[in-house]
């Protein structure tokens, strides 16, 4: 199931580069699968290798089917039924049955074994009503498909009862509709006196303690959407087991930013990448040519361990290094000082002095696990899109087995968010002799890989 979903959402997505697909794949892994490939560097070249390792280990269809059957056969009855515990059981059972169907299994063939196992997890009155319903409708008590329909109707009826009685509180609105198994219970569940607040949980990093919109581990909107799809979660409330069309909150919930029917954590309007661009770093050589600036792809890691793939530009004409203010905040980069920085543009006779945070950051190389630490001032400037190394030069480099610092990808659209100035320029550049390609194009070696340099415009 995972590989089919990942293939549809990510692997076959022509708009993603290979390195981005590899980054997304690693982001989905945890526990044993993550440890299995932990020693392999995250590069475009190792993407297929990592996929094959995972498929060989976890892609056995028979093992997956057996794992789902084992879960359904060993469901533990809920000793103290609550709306949330019964909801979790129902959703998990439904998810497993859907997975078996997707794998080509006829779930009704397992009916005689699985139906009593599933029913024993629910209160006695639910089991009693199912038996009466099966006899009245003249259907088999072991028909799993009909059992799922019956349970779904039970939940809808219970939820409607709550609304009619006016007993649905704000806390209940945040829960999926299975709250109702105890709608008439006076001892186990009392909606009017329900005061326990829902515990914050993030479906993007699967960690309790913060809400989805506060997640700093998964910040890319598209990645968040794919994680909700993969986990079978609702785009409106982020809970499992239903979609927006049947979400119990669809009549009152909406995004606080754009007023549409999706969760605020996946709202495109909150994406900082929509900031208007400046174009000061792009200069025309001729009408159809562009000066190739010295750029590199890097992984930038903050003190909390959050890592992001981005691009940096090497500019020996800048006295200081800079990093995007957005990255400083998203990655919680360590602030080492706050200094008054005088900024003066080229050919400008005036300067501007303002306080800037100076932060510590770690840049990792995309080709291996080595990294370099440097400090940089925050900057709110957004660089214009800049193309990577041209395809003809990329092909030449592959023939010569050269690794570019900013390798060409057909759909590459990573923004430039770091500027390495003269203060750290020679920290990342090597003294190895350059390689001359033409009269105007030269390759220079940095710790990130080979960088394309334009000598002149002749």
pLDDT in tens, 400-438: 788 888 886 654 567 889 999 988 998 999 888 888 877
Q: Domain coordinates of the chain in residue numbers?
A: 1-59, 63-165, 201-268, 295-342+354-454
Ordered alpha helix ranges (H), 74-143: 83-102, 111-119, 124-137
Tell me if the pTM is above 0.85. no
**8 A C-beta contact, residue 430 and residue 310:** no
Q: What is the predicted pLDDT for the residue at 392?
A: 66
The residue ranges of the chain whose pLDDT is under 50 are 167-196, 270-289, 411, 458
Q: Is 236 exposed, middle or buried (0-12, 13-18, 19+ CB in 10 A)?
A: buried
pLDDT in tens, 342-373: 776 665 566 777 888 999 988 988 888 788 99
Q: What is the predicted pLDDT for the residue at 322?
A: 92
Q: What is the predicted pLDDT for the residue at 313?
A: 92
Enter the tokens of residue 307: 């890592």
- How far apart, in whole angstroms, are the C-alpha atoms of residue 107 and residue 97? 7
Ordered alpha helix ranges (H), 138-191: 144-165, 170-173
Q: What is the predicted pLDDT for the residue at 172?
A: 35
Q: How would DSSP label each residue in 177-207?
A: GGGGGGTT-SSS--GGG--PPPPPEETTTTE
Q: What is the predicted pLDDT for the residue at 405?
A: 87
Ordered alpha helix ranges (H), 198-287: 221-231
Helices (H) and strands (E) in the chain, counts: 14, 12
**8 A C-beta contact, residue 5 and residue 31:** no
Assign a CATH topology to domain 295-342+354-454: Cathepsin D, subunit A; domain 1 (2.40.70)
| Torsion (CA) 392, 395, 397, 403 in degrees, nearest 10 | 110
Q: What is the predicted pLDDT for the residue at 169?
A: 36
Enter the tokens of residue 172: 């209940």
């Amino acid at each position: 199931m995972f590989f089919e979903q990942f293939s549809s959402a990510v692997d076959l997505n022509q708009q993603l580069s290979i390195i981005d697909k590899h980054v997304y794949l690693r982001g989905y892994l945890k526990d044993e699968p993550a440890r299995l490939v932990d020693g392999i560097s995250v590069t475009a070249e190792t993407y297929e290798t990592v996929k094959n390792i995972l498929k060989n280990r976890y892609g056995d269809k028979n093992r997956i089917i057996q794992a789902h059957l084992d879960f359904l056969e060993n469901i533990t009855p809920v000793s103290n039924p609550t709306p949330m515990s019964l909801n979790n059981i129902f959703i998990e059972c439904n998810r497993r049955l859907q997975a078996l169907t997707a794998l080509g299994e006829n779930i009704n063939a397992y009916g005689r074994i699985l139906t009593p196992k599933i029913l024993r997890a629910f209160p006695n009155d639910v089991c009693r009503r199912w038996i009466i319903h099966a006899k009245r409708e003249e259907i088999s008590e072991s028909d799993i498909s009909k059992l799922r329909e019956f349970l779904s109707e039970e939940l809808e009826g219970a939820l409607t009862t709550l609304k009619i009685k006016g007993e649905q509180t704000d806390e209940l609105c945040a829960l999926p509709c299975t709250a109702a198994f105890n709608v008439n219970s006076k001892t186990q569940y009392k909606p009017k006196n329900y005061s326990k607040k829902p515990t914050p949980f993030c479906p993007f990093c699967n960690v309790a303690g913060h809400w989805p919109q506060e997640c700093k581990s998964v910040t890319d909107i598209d990645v968040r959407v794919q994680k909700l799809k993969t986990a079978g979660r609702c785009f409106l409330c982020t809970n499992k087991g239903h979609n927006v069309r049947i979400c119990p909150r669809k009549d009152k919930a909406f995004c606080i930013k754009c007023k549409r029917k999706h969760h605020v954590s996946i709202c495109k309007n909150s994406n900082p990448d929509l900031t208007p661009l400046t174009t000061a770093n792009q200069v025309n050589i001729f009408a159809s040519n562009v000066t190739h600036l010295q750029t590199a792809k890097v992984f930038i890691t903050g003190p909390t361990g959050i890592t992001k793939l981005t691009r940096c530009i090497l500019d020996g004409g800048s006295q200081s290094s800079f990093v995007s203010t957005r990255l400083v905040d998203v990655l919680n980069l360590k602030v080492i000082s706050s200094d008054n920085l005088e900024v003066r543009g080229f050919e400008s006779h005036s300067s501007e002095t303002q306080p800037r945070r100076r932060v510590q950051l770690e840049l990792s190389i995309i080709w291996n696990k080595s990294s370099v630490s440097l400090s940089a001032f925050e900057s709110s400037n957004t660089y214009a899109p800049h193309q990577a190394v041209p395809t003809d030069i990329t092909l030449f480099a592959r023939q010569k087995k050269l690794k570019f610092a900013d390798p060409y990808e057909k759909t590459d659209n990573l923004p430039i968010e770091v500027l390495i100035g003269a203060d750290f320029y020679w920290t990342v550049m090597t003294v190895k002799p350059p390689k001359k390609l033409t009269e105007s194009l030269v390759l220079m070696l940095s710790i990130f890989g080979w960088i394309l340099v334009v000598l002149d415009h002749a």
